[in-house]
């Protein structure tokens, strides 16, 4: 919570916009040789030489994408960067720079923004990206965050959502469903806190799923792993809105169908037990939960021996002819059409 009465609070107007940017970014250095000029001039200067530039941007709005009653600002700064880097890695590219713009109301003191930028700095350090620009402005209510990420790749290494073909194998990294269940735990504890503010939640049994929600990681390691294994995916996307939604994106972009096998979907044991506690179906959570930021990719069958047995990669199905449609094959061997029930920011 940012409303800590014992904490020192410095009003934003004490520094002004340029003073605030200078204050918040004073400890950011440059890691990338492509960053010629970072923060401090009218614009950044970048030199990518003969590589292709990848650009993605994302906006996060308080009350829609995050809740500060249980999301620490340091975690929010980290996560805000991660969700953008994930899109770069989904193109089989390496992230290099970011810009961060925020709008905040006067309920946020400078100390709160320092916490947020600590998280941004941690992400920059972990993923070796440079903060090269951004903006700060006022908001009539709440906090808005807009981050742009840039990356580079050789033209022949870029992987798109389109490109997969029938009989390609459908592969996913890590495990799914944790982030959504972490959100359920946090929302439940928030309601308990409202009723009894003296009740301190015990989140230890849920540490894995809560961390998946509050501090996800982008899969830069997978881009490096695939290069090492000499595997170039035929298509790739990151899982931000739920597995079924992302599979359907690949099918639509490539004009193919798909068979996804329920018993192959990777689930952490804590996800299964938490799903049972919330009386939810773990498969449905994996299909529709979202925010896992794992990578979903397709590979040619000839590449299967290269990934076989790798603990980071799980084959969960295969692509099919478009006429066959996209289906989930249940544990009981029933074919169910896949539907995109993932998170939608425009739904009520």
Which CATH number goes with the domain that contains 277? Answer: 3.90.650.10
What is the value of pTM for the model shown? 0.89
Annotated ligand binding at 161? The verdict is yes
Mean pLDDT for the chain overall: 90
Number of domains the chain contains: 2
State the first-to-last Cα distance of the chain, in angstroms, to the nearest integer. 26
pLDDT of 346 above 50: no
Cβ atoms 294, 238 nearer than 8 A: yes
The residue from 157, 178, 212 where one domain ends is: 157
Annotated ligand binding at 58? The verdict is yes
Residue 343 lies in a domain: no
Range of the domain at 233: 169-337
pLDDT digits (tens, 9 = 90+) for 29-74: 777 777 676 666 666 677 888 888 998 989 999 999 999 999 999 9
Q: Are residues 148 and 177 in the same domain?
A: no
pLDDT of residue 345: 47
Annotated ligand binding at 327? The verdict is no
Strands annotated E in 174-325: 235-238, 257-261, 295-299, 313-320
pLDDT of residue 340: 78
Q: Is the dihedral of CA 38, 92, 257, 283 positive or negative?
A: negative
pLDDT of 3 above 90: no
Q: Are residues 178 and 131 in the same domain?
A: no
Q: Please, which pLDDT band fits residue 141 given cuts at 50, 70 and 90?
A: confident
Cβ atoms 87, 58 nearer than 8 A: yes
Q: Are residues 191 and 71 in the same domain?
A: no
Other Cβ atoms closer than 10 A to 14: 11
pLDDT digits (tens, 9 = 90+) for 231-271: 999 999 999 999 999 999 999 999 999 999 999 999 999 99
pLDDT of 192 above 90: no
Annotated ligand binding at 10? The verdict is no
Residue 2 lies in a domain: no
pLDDT of residue 195: 86
Q: Please, which pLDDT band fits residue 148 given cuts at 50, 70 and 90?
A: very high
Residue scoring higher pLDDT (201 or 220)? 220
Strand partners, 275: none
d(CA 341, CA 289): 9
pLDDT of residue 300: 98
Annotated ligand binding at 41? The verdict is no
Annotated ligand binding at 87? The verdict is yes
The residue from 97, 127, 157 where one domain ends is: 157
Q: Are residues 148 and 205 in the same domain?
A: no
Annotated ligand binding at 343? The verdict is yes
Annotated ligand binding at 188? The verdict is no
Annotated ligand binding at 180? The verdict is no
d(CA 287, CA 264): 12
Residue 127 lies in a domain: yes
Percent of the chain with pLDDT over 90: 73
Q: Please, which pLDDT band fits residue 9 given cuts at 50, 70 and 90?
A: confident
Annotated ligand binding at 291? The verdict is yes
Q: Are residues 196 and 288 in the same domain?
A: yes
Annotated ligand binding at 4? The verdict is no
């Amino acid at each position: 919570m940012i409303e800590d009465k014992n904490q020192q609070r410095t009003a934003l107007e004490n520094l002004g916009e340029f003073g605030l940017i200078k204050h918040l970014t004073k400890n950011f250095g440059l890691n990338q040789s492509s960053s010629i000029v970072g923060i401090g001039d009218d614009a950044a200067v970048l030199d990518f030489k003969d590589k292709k530039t990848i650009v993605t941007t994302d906006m996060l709005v308080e009350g829609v994408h995050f809740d500060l009653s249980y999301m620490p600002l340091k975690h929010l700064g980290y996560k805000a960067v991660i969700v953008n880097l994930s899109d770069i890695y989904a193109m089989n590219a390496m992230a290099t720079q970011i810009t961060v713009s925020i709008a905040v109301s006067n309920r946020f003191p400078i100390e709160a923004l320092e916490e947020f930028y600590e998280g941004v700095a941690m992400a920059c350090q972990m993923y070796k990206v440079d903060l090269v620009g951004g903006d700060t402005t006022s908001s009539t209510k709440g906090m808005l965050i807009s981050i742009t990420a840039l990356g580079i790749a050789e033209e022949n290494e870029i992987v798109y959502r389109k490109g997969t073909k029938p009989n390609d194998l459908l592969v996913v990294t890590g495990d799914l469903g944790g982030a959504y269940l972490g959100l359920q735990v946090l929302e439940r504890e928030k309601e308990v806190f409202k009723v009894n503010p003296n009740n301190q939640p015990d989140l230890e049994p849920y540490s894995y799923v809560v961390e998946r929600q509050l501090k996800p990681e982008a899969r830069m390691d997978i881009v490096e792993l695939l290069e090492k294994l000499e595997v170039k995916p035929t298509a790739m996307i990151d899982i931000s809105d739920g597995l079924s939604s992302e599979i359907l994106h690949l099918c639509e972009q490539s004009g193919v169908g798909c068979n996804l096998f329920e018993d192959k979907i990777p689930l952490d044991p804590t996800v299964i037990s938490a799903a049972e506690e919330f009386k939810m179906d773990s498969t449905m959570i994996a299909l529709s939960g979202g925010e896992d930021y794992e990578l979903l990719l397709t590979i040619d069958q000839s590449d299967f021996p290269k990934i076989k047995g790798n603990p980071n990669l799980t084959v969960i199905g295969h692509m099919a002819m478009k006429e066959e449609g996209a289906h989930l094959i249940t544990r009981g061997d029933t074919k169910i059409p896949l539907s995109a029930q993932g998170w939608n920011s425009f739904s009520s």
